[in-house]
Structure 1
Amino acid sequence: MKRLWDNIEAIGAVVMALAAVIALVYAHVQITEGRDAERERALGERCRMVWLWDNSVTLATIAMGIAAVVALIYAHLQISDARRAERRANANELWRETLRLAFDNPKLSDPSLKTTNFDYENLTIDGDPELFQKYEMYVDTVLNASEDILEGLPTPEWYAAVRLQLKAHRDYLLSPHFRNSGYLAQYTPKFRAYMDDVLSESDHA
């Protein structure tokens, strides 16, 4: 299938050339028939064309139809490929943004490392409530980016990358504060189900 796709443009060109050849053959036969018509009448016999000549118009029509179909398929594949490339570019840009946020906010990027004191009951980080609010915005950005990526490019590789991000913030995402905050309502049922599956895994999964 890959080889067919790689050569589909060449196949289309061959079909178009075949249609042109058949059309030229048909024109040549028509001219020849005109020249021979008088002699055939004089002989009192009607020349029977071989099957190819009898069906040259039909063959030319079929070949042109095939060429049109191949051209449409090729155009569709080109558009699909462009859309896939656009989705990949969007996913990569969203992920780079989350990485920039993590680089700029190392304290917020991975609470599972236990390098900072996250208090999900009192809503503070190292005793700072403002930093916790910033953390909530950070996680919201990561979740929105993750959802957009999986919606546009649901590949195993992206699911694995998002899974790592979710597990890093597992304690917060499972906390009563987050669950009762209403934040989950902004995500699609499909993404919420994926979050629940990931968060239900053991810490060492």
Structure 2
Amino acid sequence: MTNIVAISAGLSDSSTTRLLADRFAESVKRKYGDATVEVVSLRELAHEITDATLTGFAPPRLQTVIDKVLAADGLIVVTPIFKASYPGLFKSFFDVLDAEALTGKPVVLAATGGTARHSLAIDFAMRPLFAYMQALTVPTGVFASPYDWGSEGTNALGERIDRATAELVSLLKGAGTGRGPSDDIDLFSDTFLSISNPPTAD
């Protein structure tokens, strides 16, 4: 059984950040029936995260969540964006982890914000953090503004969630090995490799 942990860094008791994490959990279950998805709210661990930041030791409840993250086959991380970046609670949680804790782990990056102007934060704020931690982030990042919750069409939020989920499933099932589902996105296709590894001049 594949185990996926979805981390929600929403700061309010009822937030679109948690709603987006739940939507991802539903998408994973549709596309990857042989998977369990647990959604973790960092808001409930705020005091423990602060204590761990100050003392260097994680309280038991936080350590339990850390152990789940380390044991997970893949992660979905969802954060609100304020003033073009993620909040301190989100960063503090990942600061508590060992720098190599996420090495090679497939991760979906997602965020919410009050305006579409924050959408680039996934690429210039979130992606560098997980690149530093050597995680394997999927190509599609999902940003949801208030408009997206009611939008329809080819770029609808649900379709973007499903695309990012398909990329995650492709990695988890072994993209390019012939073992992934037919509708998965092959991240290791000839096209992808040709862009990443251009031919050298003779």
TM-score by length of 1: 0.23
Query: Per chain length, whose mean CA-contact separation is higher, i.e. which structure has more relative contact order (CA < 8 Å, sep 6+)?
Result: 2
- Structure with the higher fraction of residues in strand conformation: 2
Q: Which has the larger radius of gyration?
A: 1
